[in-house]
């Protein structure tokens, strides 16, 4: 892979035949259009990233994320009323055949990438935004179900950098509500206050669905090479990306 790609990514790896998955770092810059950044600068960064990925200009597909459990096909139309008018309003994208490079934007929430064997030897891929609400509302099962409906088998997931279980402090009632659905997500901060470990909850949920998962190390709050909304509310967004080189 190009040296520029390694510089832009916290982690990346070839995960299939000409199929790659990765999570950007702050060197790639803010990639979101909804955080008050200069739109032209954001689009320029996206174009530079596409060049390093080896995909067609303008082909990297983003979402207008709203903490829902909505998963759509990568061909879904953009939302004319959203910050990114070229992107659909959803929290999960699927590419049947894996031909469309997919992106999910985060700054403490979980970015989850999926790949499975699909029809005619081509992969079925997905990129999912899974914050606390999305995890509890079932965004991960929704993505897996749609992948399987599209013929996806032997699905694997990669859980990217997010706020960790000792940093994600929450009110006790919020923890209790999450625990009722996902006991594995219950955690404590270093000072003993209630917290949630979203990746642990995701791992348990994916295992129950028969999906293998790999957790990529890195707490967004603790690492300044990653964007964190908790550390700085005016921060940018990193991207989880799954793509095939042209």
Q: Sign of dihedral through CA atoms 31, 35, 38, 40? A: positive
CA distance 112 to 160: 6
Q: Would residue 185 count as lying in a domain? A: no
Residue 149 has pLDDT above 60, yes or no: yes
Q: Would residue 172 count as lying in a domain? A: no
pLDDT tens readout for residues 203-246: 999 999 999 999 999 999 999 999 999 999 999 999 999 999 87
Q: Would residue 166 count as lying in a domain? A: no
pLDDT tens readout for residues 130-147: 999 999 999 999 999 999
Q: Would residue 77 count as lying in a domain? A: yes
CA distance 180 to 42: 40
DSSP string, 208-237: HTT-EEEEPP-BTTT-TTS--TTT-TT---
Q: Would residue 174 count as lying in a domain? A: no
What CATH number does residue 48 fall under?
Answer: 3.60.140.10
Percent of the chain with pLDDT over 70: 98
Among candidate residues 95, 16, 109, 24, the one with its CA nearest the CA of residue 66: 109
Average pLDDT in the chain: 95
Among candidate residues 122, 119, 132, 65, the one with its CA nearest the CA of residue 92: 65
| Overall average pLDDT of the 69-75 stretch | 96
CA distance 84 to 60: 13
Residue 1 has pLDDT above 70, yes or no: no
Confidence band (pLDDT; 50, 70, 90) for 120?
confident
What's the gap between Cα 32 and its chain centre?
Answer: 13
Are 125 and 102 contacting, i.e. CB atoms less than 8 angstroms apart? Answer: yes
Segments forming the whole domain that contains residue 55: 3-161+216-244
| Overall average pLDDT of the 9-22 stretch | 95
Residue 79 has pLDDT above 60, yes or no: yes
CA distance 130 to 161: 12
Of 3 and 156, the structure prediction assigns the larger pLDDT to 156
Q: Would residue 211 count as lying in a domain? A: no
What's the number of domains the chain is made of? 1
Q: Would residue 40 count as lying in a domain? A: yes
Cα angle, residue 56 at apex, residues 227 and 240 outer, rounded to 5°: 25
Q: Would residue 81 count as lying in a domain? A: yes
């Amino acid at each position: 892979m190009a040296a520029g790609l390694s510089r832009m990514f916290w982690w990346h790896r070839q995960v299939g035949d000409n199929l790659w998955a990765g999570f950007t770092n702050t060197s790639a810059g803010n990639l979101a259009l909804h955080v008050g950044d200069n739109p032209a600068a954001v689009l320029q960064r996206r174009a530079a990233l596409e060049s390093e990925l080896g995909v067609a200009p303008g082909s990297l597909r983003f979402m207008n994320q709203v903490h829902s459990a909505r998963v759509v096909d990568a061909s879904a139309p953009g939302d004319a009323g959203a910050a990114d008018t070229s992107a659909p309003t959803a929290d999960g994208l699927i590419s049947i055949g894996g031909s469309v490079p997919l992106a999910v934007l985060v700054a403490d929430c979980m970015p989850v990438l999926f790949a499975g064997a699909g029809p005619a030897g081509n992969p079925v891929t997905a990129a999912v935004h899974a914050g606390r609400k999305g995890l509890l509302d079932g965004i991960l099962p929704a993505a897996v179900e749609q992948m399987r409906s599209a013929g996806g088998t032997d699905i694997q997931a990669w859980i990217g950098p997010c706020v960790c279980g000792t940093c994600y402090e929450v009110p006790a009632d919020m923890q209790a509500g999450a625990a009722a659905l996902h006991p594995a997500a219950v955690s404590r901060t270093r000072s003993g206050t209630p917290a949630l470990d979203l990746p642990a909850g995701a791992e348990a949920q994916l295992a129950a669905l028969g999906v293998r998962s790999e957790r990529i190390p890195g707490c967004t709050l603790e690492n300044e090479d990653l964007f964190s909304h908790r550390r700085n509310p005016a921060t940018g967004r990193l991207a989880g990306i799954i793509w095939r080189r042209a």
